[in-house]
Structure 1
Amino acid sequence: MFVKCQRPRRWHFVQVLFICLILSGIMLCWDKLDSFSFDFASINPFHFGPSFRNSSFTVSRAEGCKFSDHPYLITHTKTCESSNVLLLLFVKSFPQNFARRQNIRLTWGNERYIESELGVSVKVLFALGVHPHLKDRTLIQSQLFQEDQKYHDLIQQNFIDSFYNLTTKLLLQFNWAHTYCSHAHFLMSADDDMLIHMPNLVTYLKQVHQAGIRDFWVGRVFNNTGPVHRKSSKYYVSPDLYPWDRYPTYTGGAGYVVSRDVASRIHQASLTLNATLHIDDVFMGICGSVIGVAPKAHHFFSGEKKSPYHPCIYKQMMTSHGHESDLQEVWRQVTSPEVQKVDSGITGKLYCSIIKLALLCNPFNRNTYPCNPSTIFF
């Protein structure tokens, strides 16, 4: 039995050609905007939330300094001796995460690779407290001293390293940067399970720097969120500590970048705020509110999940979250020379648009990169 196939009519070909021309036109127009692919949405009152100046959240400078007044157990005061540091990148790491730190050193955090292949100076440091369990602390601390003697990239203060001291770790990063590396053009904070596409990030930050952009703060932006008052949640915040019903706009703590001018002002603002709020990314948002700077959303800074595995995604990736054990393998994929060829020409751009539409608009891939025209057609 044979099935009779209907011959395509001429107007079908015209339809396909018309759609291709429209998509091509959109991509060619948007391609000119690709260098600065962050969302400059107009500022609205919800970006800054409540006024924290002269409120119950404000403390004296003497009291504010106590939140970060922890002695250093390991530090390196001459790391940033180079006068032209593009990026100071702090990786938040728990003391026991030796394997994660080593994977980073072998991949995107390799400073020699960055300088030789990308032609810029990026300083990668790991921010640490002390192990929370006293019985394990002595051994792990000894191992940390040995690790640092070999790599010279640990910055550790004497506070308990736990989820509830993440704001203390944020203060460590901004205080150290202010004291020892204030000339770095950008400061980045990231988790130790992140994959950072260093070639893409360096290219992007060089363009931002050359354009002279100030008040620069990009990452995965969260709007219109509020405190959790359920005491069983680790995100619980007491109404006495935070009496307002909404947080200011902030970026997820897994990975964000600020310019040198913002880093300096964040540091100053943090010295007069109540840092007992343990949710570090929200505290960062409060600091931003105080200095009048709101973050901008960069669509290829990841949410809580890993980015989809595909060369069309790698071409624009900045960060991907959740890489605890596969970092080296994915790093080889994202830096393969073949990635740069995947969307060459009109055919390649159409191919990648279809792939990204399928991957990013899939409900199972939510909380990676958003499904919108900026991510699909760039």
Structure 2
Amino acid sequence: MFVNFRRVSKCQLLTTGLLLCTLMVCWEELDHHVVSHIRSFTYRYLVDRYDFDTLPQPGAIISYPSYLINHPRKCGGGRDRERGLADILLLLFVKSSPENREQRQAIRNTWGNESFARSELGASVTVLFALGVHHDAHERASVQAALLQEDWEHQDLIQQDFLDTFHNLTRKLILQFQWAHEHCHWACFLMSADDDVFVHMPNLVRYLRQLQGTPSKAPKDVWVGHVYRGSPPVRRKGNKYYVPPDLYPWVSYPDYTAGAGYVVSGDVAAKIYRAILVLNSSLHIDDVFMGMCAKAMGVAPRGNVYFSGQAKALRHSCVYGHMITSHGHAAADMRSLWRATTDPGVKRQSGGLYCSMMRLLLLCRPYFQNTYPCAAAFA
């Protein structure tokens, strides 16, 4: 077949050229969303070979940043444990930035209120805020003074001497598991959450007790949250999540849970800490590093549709009865959501055929929603 170029108009040539140019410009984006995901998913579930144990932490002795603020007896210990006063159901770390005092106070006044958990839910929950030091050297002294005053009032900050930046999120993850190992390794569960995440504490406590079974039985191999499976590393320079091949050579990440909010049992927390001692922690994406540690220790995550990941729960009483986490809440929003979810009438309204139908209508709409998946309507 021959092309008669005499019949090809200048407009057709121009259109074809523009299409080719657009394809060339957008190919990296198309590849990231299509080809890279296919390669990644194939690698994850067919090859599934990650030699993380060949990436040792340099040096025989691991040096951790020193504590600037610490409360080693926050979980009790010693005589407290002997008298049965330190049976911690949940050790909950909130990852926070030094300047986010308003967010921390909103959490203390709502879902992170330890007294509420103890008196209303009969659960021993320890809530701590994990921080580094302020990234701006000019403001650091004043911010640190404010943190010391805040901690004097509330006694719930844990701070180490590293810059509190996006690229040090893995350092903050290590802080949590290190502190849990040193000062609260007897807690049944450990949870990590961002400070813009709303946690429905009554639903969470009920869920953890179901996982626990009986109070005398320690839960095993629990790692639950919003699971990402077969995700590829971002190779586009300039992207916030860019990871170069020399830092992470594989085409797929191991399965991991969204860092916005996840729960592990005490035995898994101990395994993650042991992995931290030997793996290279240079990767700045903390939830992926968590996945690397878990993979090295033979721990697999399980998904729960009511752990929202990066999504936000819909505001409806039929959803409140099931939600566990919701992401992306400012302080005022967190307070209003707490009032709505703890309304005595919500529990009465969350069951029955009406709410089953409402969840179906709310969560299974035929267009994309940044909220719980459709499967949550049937959970």
Per the normalisation by structure 1, the TM-score is 0.83
C-alpha distance 117-269 of structure 1, shift in aligned 2 (>3 A): same
Q: Among residues 278, 282, 285, which one is paired with 1:276 in the alignment?
A: 282
Which stretch shifts more, 355-364 or 202-211? Answer: 355-364
Which residue of the partner structure matches residue 69 of structure 2?
74
Structure 1 residue aligned with 2:314: 308
Tell me if 1:150 matches 2:153.
yes
Distance 1:243 1:355, change over 3 A: same
Cα displacement string for residues 66-115 of structure 1 (whole angstroms, at most 9, x for unaligned residues): 3xx10100000100104200000000000000000000000000001110
Partner of 2:113: 110
Q: Are 2:131 and 1:132 aligned?
A: no
Q: Tell me: CA distance 1:96–1:48, structure 2 relative to 1, closer, same or farther (3 Å).
A: farther
1:341 aligns with 2:353: no
Whether contact under 8 Å (2:311, 2:328) holds in the other structure is yes
Q: Is the 8 A contact 2:187 2:266 kept in 1?
A: yes
Q: Residue 56 of structure 2 aligns with which residue?
A: 58
CA positional deviation for 1:49: 4.0
Aligned mates of 2:47, 2:108 — CA distance in 1: 37
Say if 2:263 is the partner of 1:257: yes
Q: Partner of 2:45: helix, strand, or coil?
A: helix
The answer for the alignment partner of 1:46 in structure 2 is 45
CA displacement 1:318-351 (0-9 Å, x = unmatched) = 000011131001101011111111144xxxx221
1:294 matched to which residue of 2?
Answer: 300
CA contact 2:44–2:253 (8 Å) conserved in 1: no
The TM-score, its normalising length taken from structure 2, stands at: 0.82
Q: How does 1:324-335 map to 2 (within 5 A)?
A: 324-325=330-331, 326-335=333-342
Deviation, structure 1 residue 357: 1.5
* Aligned-partner Cα distance in 2 for 1:48–1:336: 50
TM-superposed CA distance for 1:148, in Å, is 0.1
Q: After TM superposition, give the deviation of residue 354 of structure 1 in Å.
A: 1.9
Q: 1:142 to 1:47 in 2, by over 3 A?
A: farther
Q: Distance in 2 between matches of 1:61 and 1:174?
A: 20
- Stretches of structure 2 that go unaligned for 5 or more consecutive residues are 1-42, 77-84
The answer to whether the 8 A contact 2:44-2:230 is kept is no
The question of 1:121 aligning with 2:103 is answered no
Show the 5 A alignment for 1:202-217.
202-210=205-213, 212=217, 213-217=219-223
Give the direction of change, closer, same or farther, for the CA distance of 1:322–1:357 in structure 2 (3 Å limit): same
- Specify whether residues 266 and 337 from structure 1 end up closer, same or farther in structure 2 by C-alpha distance, changes over 3 A only: same
State the 1:59 CA deviation. 3.0
Give 3-state SS (helix, strand or coil) of 2:303's partner. Answer: strand
> 1:303: Cα distance to partner?
2.7
**RMSD of aligned Cα (Å):** 1.8
Q: CA deviation at 1:53?
A: 4.3
